[in-house]
Amino acid sequence: MHKLIDTTIDKKNIGLSKLLYELRQNLDVYYVIADNADAINKSGIGKNFFGHIQKLAIDSIILSICKIYEKEEKKYPLNSIDGVLHHLIVESPRPLDNSKLKYFIQKYGRSSEISVPISMVTSAIKEFRKRYKSELKCFETFRHKMVAHSEFGFDKDELPSEGMMEELFCFAADFYEVVSDSFVGVGPFNFMTWRRVKYSLERLLQELGIENISMDMKSCQQSGIEGKAGNKFLLTAES
């Protein structure tokens, strides 16, 4: 058994995986409802219910992204990327597997050098955060002014695109996998195959008589990772 199993690094990384699991399910709920909004509206069944569920999904997506990318302070240990990274820096474990580590560094950083692995991982994370600084700030603003609180006079703009939400998920999931495979030595949870909420929602829509259900996240693909989110943030349900 590797020495990192059941350590703080391992436990924090498991905590991060739980945040990622919740984010994945809520992204799927949002996408499926958005992609099938017209069909749901035309069916005349559950329009307001699905609109409400999609609103809750958006709120949860915002909270999850903020939790995952939150900076760790000394007073409050976190299961965020920064929380896991902090303990990697402190303990500086030797990597067990360089393949995924090298892939992560090449994909998100500016170098393929892994002679100083923790330093290169840190650099890749900083590079990613810098690249999407404005988008992360936008999510944080929404979290503070609309989700966690209700600030009077807050003039909300559109959130970053659905594709941007997916990009932030994928980066965090890649980091989690690198820590699991390259340092802890335990195979990571596969978020992309374990999607029971998505397929449960598909079965529910089928029971409501909706045909040709879209499950390929067209709303995400169409908006890309640049710009703002599309106009189906809430199902346009009539009272």
Residues 211-231: pLDDT tens digits? Answer: 889 887 654 544 444 444 544
C-beta of residue 10 within 8 angstroms of C-beta of residue 184 = yes
Residue 160 to residue 230: CA distance in whole angstroms: 9
pLDDT attached to residue 161: 86
Residue 103 has pLDDT above 60, yes or no: yes
- 8-state DSSP, 181: I
For residue 160, the cross-strand partners are 228
pLDDT attached to residue 29: 95
pLDDT attached to residue 160: 86
For residues 9, 170, 40, 214, the Cα torsion angle rounded to the nearest 10 degrees is -130
Q: In which band, very low, low, confident or very high, does the pLDDT at 140 lie, cut at 50, 70 and 90?
A: very high
| Global confidence as pTM | 0.89
Residue 19 to residue 79: CA distance in whole angstroms: 8
CB neighbour list of residue 218: distance below 8 Å, 6 or more residues apart: 35
The pLDDT of 75-103, averaged and rounded, is 91
C-beta of residue 176 within 8 angstroms of C-beta of residue 5 = no
pLDDT attached to residue 2: 63
User: 18-77 pLDDT, tens per residue?
Assistant: 999 999 999 999 999 999 998 998 888 888 999 999 999 999 999 999 999 999 987 889
User: 116-137 pLDDT, tens per residue?
Assistant: 889 999 999 999 999 999 999 9
pLDDT attached to residue 238: 42
The pLDDT of 85-93, averaged and rounded, is 92
Identify the three-state secondary structure at position 91.
helix
User: 145-192 pLDDT, tens per residue?
Assistant: 989 998 887 776 678 888 899 999 999 999 999 999 999 988 889 888
Q: Which tokens belong to 147?
A: 């989700």
C-beta of residue 157 within 8 angstroms of C-beta of residue 71 = no
pLDDT attached to residue 98: 85
